Structures are given as structure tokens and as C-alpha cells.
Amino acid sequence: MADSSTVQVNVVDASGKARGTLDLDAAVFGAPIHGALLHQAVVRELNGQRAGTHDTKGRSEVSGGGKKPWKQKGTGRARQGSIRATQWKGGGKPFGPTPRKYGQAMPRQARWPSCQAAVITGSTVAVARRDARLAGRRSRDARIARSGVDSQACGDELCGVRRR
């Protein structure tokens, strides 16, 4: 029975079968969802996973091109200083990508409400016993077991919110 201070969610086991419902504290799970804050947290998480190892060679990094291709005047052609300039095939890239970190800062006061909103938006709670052996060695089977919260919150069971 869910009263006004609890929120009811569906519970499924690791195989996806329904195990019933679970009453959660409305002070935590009944809070309003701030969409902008949730979006910022998701973008921050996804950007933090980017490698940022992309790189292109600039004009000074491309090999060759130390000599002027032809003299400055008298040929009738446009003046050129190097065959590795950006307008040449095989030349350097003028403003190409360089290695950088994509991590974003987020205020500490905003992190908890965004995590709270992420948990609230998941309508299903997946529960797996801590001592249960998984059927296979697949990461899909172990994902729920790894995504558990601290043991005081769920007792002997691991809880994780299933993504929609």
C-alpha cells in the first residue's frame, strides 16, 4: 500500500520478469524533475566519456616544403612560399581539430538534484541478489549487478534504475 509519503514503482529481476512493486520515499523519489538540470548532467556525462584524441597536422607539422616552389616574380604564376601551405594538396590544415578534454564542470549543488531526477524518470527498478550467480558471462547479464547502490539502501539486494 502506497500512502502520500511514498511513491510506487515496478520491480523486475535480472531476467526481466516482474517481481511486484516497491514503495519508495516520496521526499527523494517524488521531487519535481528539472529537465534542464537533467539535460546538463547527461551532456556532462557523455562529454566526459569522449577521448578527445583527434588531431590534424598544421602547416609547420607536415613534412617537406622547405623550399620556395618557384621564384617570386617573372613566372606569371601566383606567388607561393611552400608546397605545404593550406591551399596545396598534401598541405597542412589551417584550423583542424587538436587534442583536448571535453569534460564539463557542474556545480555540486546541481549534481544531486540531477541524479535524483535521473532516478525518478526511470519507472522500473531492477533488483538482483548480491549473492546470486549470473547465468552467463555476458555484460548484459552483469550490468544490473554492477550498477548497485550502497548496501544499506537495499539490504542484500542490488538496485539499479533501468534506462528507457
Counting Cβ atoms within 10 Å, is residue 14 exposed (0-12), middle (13-18) or buried (19+)?
buried
Higher-pLDDT residue of 128, 110: 110
Higher-pLDDT residue of 39, 122: 39
Higher-pLDDT residue of 127, 36: 36
Task: Note whether 13 and 29 are same-domain residues.
Answer: yes
In the predicted structure, residue 148 carries a pLDDT above the cut 80:
no
Task: Note whether 154 and 77 are same-domain residues.
Answer: no
Q: What is the pLDDT of residues 13-54, one digit of tens each?
A: 767 777 788 787 777 777 788 888 888 888 898 898 999 999
- Supply the range of the domain harboring residue 73: 56-96
Determine the pLDDT at residue 28. 73
pTM (2 d.p.): 0.55
Determine the pLDDT at residue 27. 76
User: Number of folded domains in the chain?
Assistant: 2
Residues of the chain with pLDDT > 90, as a percent, come to 24
Residues of the chain with pLDDT > 70, as a percent, come to 71
Task: Note whether 43 and 67 are same-domain residues.
Answer: no
Task: Note whether 128 and 157 are same-domain residues.
Answer: yes
Strand 124-129 to 6-12 pairing = parallel
